Amino acid sequence: MSPEERKVILASSLGTVFEWYDFYLYGSLAAVIGANFFSQFPESTRNIFALLAFAAGFLVRPFGALVFGRLGDLVGRKYTFLVTILIMGGSTFVVGILPTSDSIGILAPIVLIVLRLLQGLALGGEYGGAATYVAEHAPHGRRGFYTSFIQITATAGLFLSLLVILFTQVAVGPDAFKAWGWRVPFLLSIALLGISVWIRLQMEESPAFKKMKAEGTHSKAPISEAFGQWKNAKVAIIALLGLVMGQAVVWYTGQFYALFFMGTVLKVDPFTTNMLIAWSLLLGSGGFVLFGWLSDKIGRKPIILGGCLLAALTYFPLFKLMSHEANPALSKAHSEISVQVVTDQSACSFQFNPTGTAKFTQPCDIAKAALARASVNYSVENAPGAVAAVRIQGGELIPANSPTFATDLGKALTAAGYPAASNPTVVKMSNPFDIFREQPAVLVGILTILVIYVTMVYGPIAAALVELFPTRIRYTSMSLPYHIGNGWFGGLLPATSFAMIAQTGDVYFGLWYPIVIAVATVVIGVLFVPETKDVDIYAEDRA
């Protein structure tokens, strides 16, 4: 790798780490930010703001892909993803100095939502630019290896954001952090922005784009050419369904749903959960580069689709082993204690609640939600016309419309043998290096396997997407399927999986969401996705 090539990778990767750092800050500090910007408003107003904040995080990313993808194919890769980093960095810094709603009223959350929308749009344009820029600088036969460094950036950005938040909390104390210290990580982004912009300004435009511009073969209307012409649009659809859709759910399951499952379902404390995930990321993240390099040798398809298939085949045993190790008493209760919800199933809702603001008030929904929050395995017995009630171990019914339902249910579950959330069998780490005992060691091993699956599907994906599309519409064409797959299929995974758990009463049922999608990707990918590792991205445009 030449010094210039290392500089290209550093500039692209560092900027993308910074973009993800900015993006994850809001997610990590959502509760504190909500308390400063949303809590004093009526519930309906808070719900609107929460929905918009959620939309900025996931749903608007494809629109950013279209806006900045088009710009990147018209004016160049370098300047476009320079613009995206300025928008992301500027928006993040302004969050750090934005007055709260106590000072400027409803204007504060409105400005915050606008900033979040700008962040989501910028992130939608950043990844495609970075991946395209690096791939177009990479020598033939090494694109998988070179672009794999971009793939580490999402994990690195998450890790960096958590690290800065942790050090700030320790430095200023918990009370000061809630009052004003939460602003520090946002304000520090200005230094990262300055470094990233300076490095990117030193870079040249990609050789593939310069060559295309010199020959006058660039697209005049990238969006309509990419998605208005069937020959190009079908490739984008195949890329979404045969590569990115499965990659997204495997990525979100390995890094985000695993964290959600341990904390929400298995009742592991936040410190231990974060430390276990952090160790798995540290041990497994080298797989991004390994599988990117390997994809140059044996192809993108075998690795990406192989990762999807391995994940689909092993998620159930891995998550059940995770339960047994992380909370043995709860795992035992799942297998030994019989719980039924007796209800008229026509009165039950599917509790899909991605923003955390929806209200489910029917007795059936109240019963199911209470059992799901308590991580109880239960079955549903249909009783037309009946008011929902819970029966434990064949005992008396506990009606869900009773004003003492929550208390009665808790007592009955405890009496039957369901453990308290803080029972002594739950894994607990006393410090970051407390991993050399059986419980945390096995859990780190399980989580590392999940991260390896992530690296298999994510390491080669940038190279595969770049190689599927011609230079003239590459930025636009690859960005949209990537962000639909990861922003929608992946981003909605935790909320969808939890709703599936509440619907069925099976704490593992939510795994069917990533499994079905991963298997569908394997089938579609095998049948329709071409192998691209030997594509000459220069010759492609002259064909």
At residue 239, does pLDDT exceed 70?
A: yes
User: Do 211 and 292 reside in the same domain of the chain?
Assistant: no
CA dihedral 295→231→251→147, nearest 10 degrees, is 40
User: Do 88 and 59 reside in the same domain of the chain?
Assistant: yes
What is the number of alpha carbons within 13 Å of residue 76 lying toward its C-beta?
A: 13
Q: Which residue has the higher pLDDT, 79 or 541?
A: 79
Per the structure, the complete domain to which residue 475 belongs is given by 229-327+426-543
Place of tokens 């069937």: 230
Return d(Cα 84, Cα 16) in angstroms, integer.
Answer: 10
What is the number of alpha carbons within 13 Å of residue 200 lying toward its C-beta?
A: 27
User: Do 30 and 153 reside in the same domain of the chain?
Assistant: yes
Residue 140 is given by DSSP the state: T
User: Do 286 and 406 reside in the same domain of the chain?
Assistant: no
Q: Which residue has the higher pLDDT, 460 or 264?
A: 460
Q: Tell me if residue 354 falls in helix, strand or coil.
A: coil
Residue 128 lies in a domain: yes
User: Do 369 and 470 reside in the same domain of the chain?
Assistant: no
Return d(Cα 157, Cα 89) in angstroms, integer.
Answer: 13
Question: Would you state the pLDDT for residue 488?
Answer: 82
Q: What is the 3-state secondary structure (H, E, C) of 6-44?
A: HHHHHHHHHHHHHHHHHHHHHHHCHHHHHHHHCCCCCHH
Give the pLDDT band (50/70/90) at residue 432. confident
For residue 467, give both structure tokens.
């190689």
At residue 541, does pLDDT exceed 60?
A: no
At residue 543, does pLDDT exceed 50?
A: no
Per-residue pLDDT, averaged over 207-230, amounts to 82
Q: Which residue has the higher pLDDT, 196 or 47?
A: 196
At residue 542, does pLDDT exceed 50?
A: no
State the chain's mean pLDDT as an integer: 86
User: Do 125 and 237 reside in the same domain of the chain?
Assistant: no
For residue 182, give both structure tokens.
């939460």
DSSP element (H, E) containing 389 = strand 389-392
Most confident of 113-117, 202-206, 494-498: 113-117
Q: Which of 385, 416, 447 is the last residue of a domain?
A: 416
pLDDT tens track for 342-373: 998 888 887 776 655 567 788 888 898 889 88
User: Do 360 and 315 reside in the same domain of the chain?
Assistant: no
pLDDT tens track for 465-490: 999 988 888 888 888 898 888 888 88
User: Do 43 and 137 reside in the same domain of the chain?
Assistant: yes
Return d(Cα 201, Cα 239) in angstroms, integer.
Answer: 32
Q: Which of 195, 218, 241 is the last residue of a domain?
A: 218
Q: Which of 416, 449, 480 is the last residue of a domain?
A: 416
Total count of domains within the chain? 3
Question: Would you state the pLDDT for residue 124?
Answer: 83
Return d(Cα 463, Cα 147) in angstroms, integer.
Answer: 6
User: Do 287 and 211 reside in the same domain of the chain?
Assistant: no
Q: What is the CATH number of the domain that holds 375?
A: 3.40.30
**Measured distance between the N- and C-terminal CA atoms of the chain, rounded to whole angstroms:** 29
User: Do 95 and 203 reside in the same domain of the chain?
Assistant: yes
